[in-house]
Structure 1
Amino acid sequence: MADDEAKKAKQAEIERKRAEVRKRMEEASKAKKAKKGFMTPERKKKLRLLLRKKAAEELKKEQERKAAERRRIIEERCGSPRNLSDASEDTLQKVCQDYYSKVLKLESEKYDVEREVARKEFEASVAPITFSFSLYFSLSLSLTLDLIGLVPSSKRCGTR
């Protein structure tokens, strides 16, 4: 019987110690959770969701703004559509003449721009050759003059 009571007392002591350890662990986990701060994982998820929604709205607004700008530019360049189904022959001729003059003007501007681009490309490709040739010519001239003794010694080959 004494053994049974001693075993029971030992078991009770072990259970008490386990309960004490559990209590300390729970307190430590509560303290840890309290220290985590303002941004809990749930709040982070909500914040990410809100940011995604806001970005989607901004993207949609930007796309709408670009589409409106595109429509405005097309309207500006091409003009408004005309109802020609019940127009007279004179009206149709006038509309065709307007479009023809507009096409001629645009083709003229296109030709001018293409010529200007070609001229600039040509100048860009010729300029290095001209520069290197002029540099070569000036160096060879100074060396020739130096060899025949026409350049003072202080001005030889770019030295000072």
Structure 2
Amino acid sequence: MADEARAKFEDKERKKKEIRERLEAQMKSTKAKKGFMTPERKKRLRQLLRRKAADEVKRQQEMKEKERMKVIAQRTGTAKQTADANEASLIAICKEYYNRIYRLNEEKWDLELITCIKEYEINDLQSRVNDMRGKFIIPPLKKVSKYQTQMEKMRQWTYKLAKMDLKGGLKPVKKEIDLGEKETPKTDKPDWVAGAK
């Protein structure tokens, strides 16, 4: 494994050296100065950066895969040889697997219980924060005209008056007519009107 890593390192160093030599050869061939970052150099620099980024991504993926395989091997353990085993060793292997599964299920249930408790606490705290902030919707107030409200009150009052029986509370009055007096002639106009006489 160390030989592979050393070979990769030497290969990278050799490639870097080749790139440096090419760049130096190009610098010597171009006698006229065009500026440090010519379009050709920019293009090559982009290509080098892309290659380096791709190598880095590939290296990270390999590291993640190795870590994943390591964790899987740690969790599953080593496989038991059952081909040459007798009955007693098979029973021991089965008991070992059963105990391992039992322990893992206990851990699983404990973790599920802890996550449920944490979720409940989070929801409780969120509701408390919302209550403290006062996150409730204030309804918009309507603009009401003072004149309009007064008119509405007048309508209600006149409606109540119209429903009332004003004549029901009066006592009936019997008129007595004196025959001795002259009755005044009736005119179309009332007495209070000027010029009715």
Give the TM-score of the pair, scaled to structure 1.
0.53
Q: Residue 39 of structure 1 corresponds to which residue in structure 2?
A: 37
Q: 1:108-135 CA distances to partner (integer Å, 9 max, x unpaired)?
A: 11112222222333344456778999xx
Q: Residue 115 of structure 1 corresponds to which residue in structure 2?
A: 113
Larger helix percent: 1
Q: Residue 51 of structure 1 corresponds to which residue in structure 2?
A: 49
Structure 1 Cα separation of the partners of residues 128 and 34 of structure 2: 72
Structure 2 unmatched ranges of 5 or more: 1-31, 132-197
2:107 maps to 1:87: no
Name which one, 1 or 2, has greater alpha-carbon Rg: 2
Structure 2 Cα separation of the partners of residues 59 and 131 of structure 1: 42
Query: How many residues align structurally?
Result: 100
Residue identity over aligned pairs, in percent, reads 45
RMSD: 2.6
Residues 67-106 of structure 1: matches in 2 within 5 Å? 67-106=65-104
SS in 2 for 1:96: helix
> Cα–Cα, structure 1 residues 48 and 120, in superposed 2: closer, same or farther, change >3 Å?
closer
Moved more, 83-92 or 42-51: 83-92
Q: 1:21-60 CA distances to partner (integer Å, 9 max, x unpaired)?
A: xxxxxxxxxxxxx674111111111111111111111111
SS in 2 for 1:74: helix
SS in 1 for 2:101: helix
Structure 1 unmatched ranges of 5 or more: 1-33, 134-160
Give the TM-score of the pair, scaled to structure 2.
0.44
Contact 2:80/2:93 (CA < 8 Å) preserved in 1?
no
